[in-house]
Amino acid sequence: MEFNDVYNQERVTRKFTNRKVNEKLLAKIIERAQQSPSLLNSQPWKVYLLAGEALNELKKEVKKQIDASVDPHEDFAKMLSLNWESFPSQNLAAVGASQPYFFHNKIELFEDSNNTMFNAQDIAFLTIPKASPAWSVYDLGIFSQSIMLLAINEGIAIMPAHSMVSYPELVRKYAKIPNDELVGMAIGLGYQDKSAEVNDPKYIPARLPFKKIYKIIK
């Protein structure tokens, strides 16, 4: 696929079909993503791919937490401040991911998709060591982007979401992740359910005007 086609298709999928992705193809994507740059070539990331019965059991336990109104407690919330400055706060209010659903009186679509882990049949959980500099978070972001672009190039839809790591102790339990690793991000991988209303393009949030984020100084 041409790069521009891949990049232009980088839109999240909020509901996947029940079709699973070939395991060898997923492994190929992750292996190629290892070419991603990192600070001093530290390559701090690890990937735990959850599928099948293990993923189904994780979904059940996460749903119990949600139904019991247990507050999310992501690993990164302990490592990094979650206090937003005014610029990103204003962006969230104006063009945040949930806003198109809110304005169409369809916020329940957004919430239901999050609460069911988007019906993803394969989820890649990404970690870095607990003893990591903040720079490793940036490296993990680069690695995540590589995975997503490579997946799209193979015709696979993607959904990166912090909501899938809201209860890291459960992710550790089912993905067999050691306690000395931070569960940083999850990426749902699969095939988009094109009949699902939640995936309607009208809910794709807008991007900020280019002039708001770009300055050139000579």
The tens digit of pLDDT for each residue in 126-177 reads 999 999 999 999 999 999 999 999 999 999 999 999 999 999 999 999 999 9
- Amino acid 88: pLDDT: 83
Total residue count of the chain as it appears in this document:
218
**Does position 92 have pLDDT exceeding 70, yes or no?**
yes
With the CA atoms of 81, 213, 150 and 191 taken in that order, what torsion angle do they form, in degrees rounded to the nearest 10?
80
Token pair 């809910």: residue: 203
- Amino acid 180: pLDDT: 97
Cα separations (Å) of 108 from 105, 160, 167? 8, 19, 21
Burial 94-128 (b: 16+ CB within 10 A, else e): eeeebbbbeeeebeebbeebbeebbbbbbbbbbbb
**Does position 69 have pLDDT exceeding 90, yes or no?**
yes
> Is the four-CA dihedral 47, 51, 54, 57 of positive or negative sign?
positive
The tens digit of pLDDT for each residue in 163-218 reads 999 999 999 999 999 999 999 999 999 999 999 999 999 999 999 999 999 999 99
pLDDT band at 114 (very low <50, low <70, confident <90, very high): very high
CA-based radius of gyration for the chain: 17
- Amino acid 82: pLDDT: 62
pTM over 0.85: yes
Q: Helix, strand, or coil here: 167?
A: coil
